[in-house]
Structure formats: C-alpha cells, structure tokens
Amino acid sequence: MQSIRGENYFETRKMNASQSVEKKAREGAHNLLVNCAAVVAGERVLILCEDARLGWYETDVAKLVAQVATEMGAEVELRQTEGPDNGFVDDSDSEASQAKKAKLMHGEFDCCIFFARIGDQLRFDREPTKVRRVMSYVSSLAELASDYGRIEYQAMSELKHAINTVLLNAGEVSISCSLGSDLRGQMSPAGGNVTQPDDVTVLRFPVGVHAPIDASGFSGELKLARYLTPTGSRVYEPASIALDEVVGARVEHGRVTAYEGKHTDVSSIRAHYDHVAQMFSLDADSLLSWHAGIHPGSQYFLDAAADPDRWSNKIFTNPRFVHFHTCGVEAPGEICWMVLDPTICVDREPLWKVGELQLEYFAETKACISRWPSLQRLFEAPNVEIGLLDKSIG
C-alpha cells in the first residue's frame, strides 16, 4: 500500500532539521566563545556584524553567538558595521586610524568578536590592546553548525603548532602541483630549533592555516590558474582578475622575475600589479610568504566565478589550497595566488600530497591526531565542495 504523508509530516521534519542545526550551531558558538575567545561570566563582549546586504555575513550567526554569550553570563553588545575600510590599514599608527578603531570599538570591553572583514584587516595591527580580538571566518549558522565551526579550537591550534614545527625545522621545502608548479626553498638547517612566529595579533576562528612561511629563500616556477584575488588587507577595484589559461610565474629568491603564458593573460596580470602597486606605493614583484590550508571542514558551495574575492577569502583554509602573498614587502601583501591540490614536501617527504595532509607520516602531527579523535574523523571524511564548478582546469 502506498503511504500518504500529509503536510504535518513534512513540517515536522523541517522543524526537526532546524532544531538540529540550531543545537549544533550552539555547540559551535560555545567553541568560539569558550575554547577560542575564553569568555567568562561577567565579561563585556562586543560582537561586530558586517551588514548582511554586502553578501559576506549572515546576521543570524552573530545573533546566536550573542545569545549564547548572554546565557553564559556575559554582558553583550551587538553592533552592525560596514565593509572593509583602508583607513584601518594605511598608516595604522596615525591619529586618523586610531580614531577609526576607537569609533569602531568604542566602550570598555574585554573581548571583541568580528563577524566582519574589518577584523581581517586588523590581524597585523601591532597596537597594544587589552581587548581579546577574534576574527570569525564562519559566516552563517550552517557553517557554525558544521565541522568547520564545531571541531575543538584547541585541536586545530595543536595541529597548527605541530605543522609549524615540521615546516620550520625542515631543511628544504618544495611545492608542486599537477599544472607544473615547482617551487623550492631552504628553511633552517634540518632539525634546528626555530621559534614559532607570532603570525597575527587577532585570534582566528576557526584555526585554518599554519604560520606563513617566508618566501625570500624560494625559487622556481608557480603555475597560476583561474583568478588572482586580494589578501583580505586593503580594498581595491577590480578586486580580482580572471585568467583564460594557465600562466607560469618565475620566482628567484622571493622575487617574481617573469610571467609566461597567453599574451592577454600576462598583460592583464602586469596591469593589475601595476595598478595595485601604484595605488599603495608597493613593490609589485615581491613574493612575501605562503601558507596552506589545514582545515578539511572548510567548504564553499557557490561558484567561485560569481565572486572570486569571497571564494578565496573563504576557501583558503582548505588543505586543497596553498596560497601565496604577493605585491608588497609588509605582511600580508595585497595580491593572492591560489594553487589547487599542492604536493608540499618537507625534506622530500610529502606533508601535503595532492591537497591531502599526510598526518600519519610525521611524529608531531601523528601525535596530535592521536590526542584528538575528532581530527582523525574529520580527515577521514573531508568536505569536497570547494567552489570550482568548472573542472576544465586541472
């Protein structure tokens, strides 16, 4: 007999699904507030949410985090803010910049959580502050409820520390990909002790990349495909450019010496670099640093072609990408290269192999995943949606 299900059945299923998302999102909020931001009862918390009409952050995620923080006993203020502003980056020590920051975060707070790109712009701000600042790359309730938001912050922090240790104690590191990239560089003497860098002054949630690696000792060729995008620092137009074909970028000791490829693509790249470098008085040929994604919970369901800037800003934490900071001599540069499915070898042993972290093959990372079963589970079933609907480029 064919079963007949009425409207109440489907409404109940929809309600249960919604309740399940909220329950998991609350777990993600706890992860953000307690494990990352270290918020406790009685503290004053400012939550800044970028105007949802700009298309980057949904208001609901900030509201839920504010609600959970209030239930924890914190005094919470939720404010809407605008999009990124170069005034937070240019002359960051100037009176005008200080005034902008004071206006943005006016009031006495113990913690400020950014659901806004302005937080990304402040990640290299060296001004002393007692306010704990957290930049959220989670932009929706669905993301907060996913593994991206719920995997323990401490687990990802330990993983970052382990990967930093492997990389910074390497002799040679090489980066290759299926398009023909081959970049190599010397790190410290193999086995040497290197102090881990304090790479940013704003906590990032979730932890999604290892510390940036200085590219001044790297030479070879990188194959550029699809898009050149911003680094999340300054704002400029056009924010990104599209490439028709693969372009080779020759690098010598952290300097871009030549581009090889289709004439119109090479001309477009040169014009873009000249434009951005002239806008901000930057060194157009500098390759500052690189780092790869370490969070397989990172995902992007939309088409990258619709907004390459938003795509790269969201997906760079996925292990299937290594991204390079270029154009400028101060972190983080202004133009980003995204290389898909890299193989990154540490003294000839792959730490990433075609976009997959090989955590079992290094003592530091193996010990980390043995302490955190959630990491083991996450790496066994990584997210596969990375926004590249056009499969014509390898």
The burial of 31, by beta-carbon neighbours within 10 Å (0-12 exposed, 13-18 middle, 19 or more buried), is given as: buried
Decide if 358 is inside a domain.
yes
| Residues 94 and 214 both lie in one domain | no
DSSP symbol at 316:
T
Whether the link from the prior residue into 206 is cis, omega within 30° of 0, is yes
| Residues 246 and 320 both lie in one domain | yes
| Residues 165 and 199 both lie in one domain | yes
Confidence of residue 12 (pLDDT cuts 50, 70, 90): very low
Decide if 171 is inside a domain.
yes
User: What mean pLDDT value characterizes the chain?
Assistant: 91
| Residues 145 and 168 both lie in one domain | no
| Residues 255 and 142 both lie in one domain | no
pLDDT at 11 (0 to 100): 53
Q: What is the pTM of this model?
A: 0.90
Decide if 155 is inside a domain.
no
| Residues 193 and 300 both lie in one domain | yes
Taking the CA atoms of residue 211, residue 215, residue 216 and residue 218 in that order, the dihedral angle to the nearest 10 degrees is 140
Decide if 393 is inside a domain.
no
pLDDT at 347 (0 to 100): 96
| Residues 115 and 168 both lie in one domain | no
SS3 content of the chain, % helix, strand, coil (to 5): 35, 25, 40
| Residues 117 and 240 both lie in one domain | no
User: Residue 126: which domain range?
Assistant: 7-149
Residues 216-240 pLDDT 10s: 999 999 999 999 999 999 999 999 9
CATH code (residue 56) = 3.40.50
Mean pLDDT within 341-365: 98
Last residue of a domain, one of 99, 124, 149: 149
| Residues 173 and 128 both lie in one domain | no
Last residue of a domain, one of 115, 149, 183: 149
pLDDT > 90? residue 394: no
Decide if 76 is inside a domain.
yes
| Residues 92 and 134 both lie in one domain | yes
| Residues 85 and 189 both lie in one domain | no
Decide if 389 is inside a domain.
no
| Residues 144 and 42 both lie in one domain | yes
9: CB partners within 8 A, 6+ apart: none
Residues 110-147 pLDDT 10s: 999 999 999 999 877 767 688 999 999 999 999 999 99
* Count: domains in the chain: 2
Using CA atoms, how far residue 144 sits from 61, 140, 374, in Å, is 7, 6, 16
